[in-house]
Structure 1
Amino acid sequence: MSSIRNLRATECLWFVALVCLWVGSISTPSSAAYLVGIRVEPNNIVLEPDQEYAYRAFAEYSDNTSVEITSFATWTTSRSSVARMSNEPGSAGTVIARGPGEVKIQAKFYYFDDSNRGSADLRVDAGPITGLRTKPTTKSLEVGLAETFTARLMYQSGYDVDITSRVQWSSSDPTIASVTINDEQDARVTANRVGTTNISAYDPESGFRNTNGFTRVRARVTHIDFEESEYLLGLNMELPLRVYAYRDDGTRTQITEDVDYLLSRAGIAVVTSGNENPGGIRPLRQGSVQVDAFDPERGLYASSSLGKTTIRVSGTLQRILVDPLSVRIGDSRNAHAYGQLSTGELTTDLRRVVTWQSMNTSIATIKNSGGSPGEITGHSAGTTTIVAIDPVTGISSPGLNNLEVRPPTEPPQPIIRLRTKPTTKSLEIGQEELFTARGVYASGSDTDISDRVRWSSSDPQIASVI
């Protein structure tokens, strides 16, 4: 039986040798030679994660000749988490490095009921570990809801790996937010009451702990609603709508990109859901349609609190009109723009839609980005023109002196409210951020009073102010 098996092996390898000779192999075995082993090249190389490399396999004979069998071998690795092999035609023998570690690259050659194999050592190196990060990056929770947290180990090369199942999770105040591990080894963080806490992840294998565990728990959401009860626009326009979640402590959070939009009928307009242009209204034809919003995370409909909105498409945009306004030097105030339609009607406020320009930035500047598009800040006394341009049609407001900046010598108005920025205050351990304070007047304008307010922290051990 052994002689028959050797004969079959020789016949099989001679077939491979003939194929290799046909494609240009430089050596072939003699008719009396027999297979002594499989050689895999190269050996002991180092790759980085996501790097690819083409290995080669050779059948070695007793007469010291060899035949390349790369495309005839079956390729495997000893640890698929470190590296994976391709057996596809044209890429057989190509390794794809995945994560740090050591692995054997194996080539197996089958003939009838027997096989030979060879191997080479490979090391995947991502460099030293630089830190441990947890996600979500901004940890803002809501009373009564739970969210899954993950932990990833970061390497110098930029590679990172999920280690959620092996880290030790804890909360600095479980009465605010607590951590439980489910059967799938996921970390579920449940918000219990309003406040702040630190969600910690410690990896005993590497000794690293996350530094971005600051977690804020906000009040429970009672209902959701649209910002406007009606959105009016022309056929040649686009307009964004906004949806807010209202909390039982009187605050609200914009959730435009988190909800699904339900239109009472098709063909009038479409509303975009998701992260790309969320809430964007694109008109299709004239008419009106009712829109409801559904929040899948909380199971809330806007209509449950009489919060449906109406989209009305009427005529086409003809002109842009900017409301005249005045502001004192150093104060800020929002500008407002409206579109005049061919029907004579005025559109919904276009402040967040148009592109703003100040014709004299030494007198006043106006924002186009960030959370306050259309926010004017007065710099010196005088009058200038604020222009609003519709990005779809290119129609702009007329060049009139519609903004007056007054000197600060007028009788001061009483400040009725104080607000600080950034609006969402989420910091990481060791991070510093500049906060500002603005006093809001009854007129709606505001002024920077950061240098005169008295700053403090309720718990300087968590965050201090200098």
Structure 2
Amino acid sequence: MANVTVVDNNPLKSIAIDPIAPLAIGGTANLVATGVFADGTKQDVTDVATWTSADATVVTVSNAAPTRGQVRGVAAGGPVTITATVQTASGPISGTVSVTVAPKKLVSIQITPTNPSLSPGQSQNFTATGTYDDGSTGDVTQQAIWASDTPSVLTIVASGATAGRATAVAAGTVSISATVEGVTGSLQLTVMSVPLVRIVVSGDANTIIVGTTQPYKATGQYADGSTKDITTSVAWSSTNTAVLSVSNAAGSQGQATGIAAGTANLRATLGTVTGQLAITVSDKPLRSIAVSPNPLDNLVVGLTRRLTANATYGDPPNTIVLDVTTSASWTSSDSSIATVGTSSTTAGQVTGVKAGSTTVTATLSGISGSATVNVTNPTLTSITVTPSAASVRAGRSVSFTATGNYDNATQIDLTNDVTWTSSDTTVAQVSDAAGSKGVATGVAASATPVTISATYRSVSGTASLTVTAPSIVALRVTPTSATLDVDQT
């Protein structure tokens, strides 16, 4: 269970719970309760809150570890009010969110990433995305039962808080599956025996302010020249924990927090390979916060776009500017026009509700910055997918983008908003997972092109993808030189 520190001079003032999409019957989702304190700082209070449902015949909510805050659809209906309450010295503090259960049926499951690069000892978090009979999609990772058909090559967590986390054991080919309500999605992958030779640690800034947190990334470089994000596979550590701490907890791996002014090396280790990055922790005072873009124009109703909060610390000419988007407390002056996310994963993400203008504010340690958000409500008339036709070799990938064309003559990038599908996943698969949406990967060569579709609110656009057979473009002979005695082989 997480620890929430409440002191008399910085009491808990409110609790915010991010809204979620409608649940399917039997579907689950994990709610996150974020506590906002008197000085504007935030802390995840999900695990210390008491959760209740106003109508458990429609939606239930868990109070048991490790699924505390997880809601499950029981029957179509709602909205049902879900409440998270934390007891404080001055009395209970509560936050609420409305949850609706839609009468929709799960028809298919896609597992992503579709083309991971794994070597023995590495781990990978897989995501299961369900598609329903109304065309909508939802994350069913924790609802699914996961399995590996060859545990000697790769094991996978079947259920629970870390469901879908796989660990490579040995080189070979394996198929993993995720099953929900009798519907199964599967993915075949190969564990390579290529050794890891280097780890590169990187982040947006090499400076952290005391009391703030910054995310860092670990990238593995392999003997064959390939690279892979191994942030969730490495063991993170700090060479000076009195100055800098770093998390190894699921969901926050690589997030470093400044403890006191000084320097420390942030390290990432996997097996015998270690990478590190020098970090400076500063105690300069916060002077201002700027939110960008300002204004945020043409936010279409139903779409979500991200605002960024940059904080300036210290006085000229020795100032430090850092991204504090995830550590700031976010509010909207009119949530009937646009809402803004408040959790660590949704902070600064603004969603249009109805046409109009509102002010979105980011606050940290009593200092605020704001931006004007202008929401419009045009009608989507068509979607253009580019490139309209592409060719890729089996085992390789190509990226598609989706542009929405509206009746007010505006064009908006919808690549991350549409649902991506392939007409034949045995020939080519296309990712619908956050961070890789629209990335199509050739599976097997075929003379018949595959149709790649991008759909948003019943409007679709398509492109064709031809998958060709892989070809040898180079050969490398090793060793490059050798000395042999007579009769030696």
- TM surpasses 0.5: no
Interval of TM-score (by shorter of Structure 1 and Structure 2): 0.3 to 0.5
Greater strand content: 2
TM-score by length of 2: 0.40
Q: Report the structure number with the largest CA radius of gyration.
A: 1
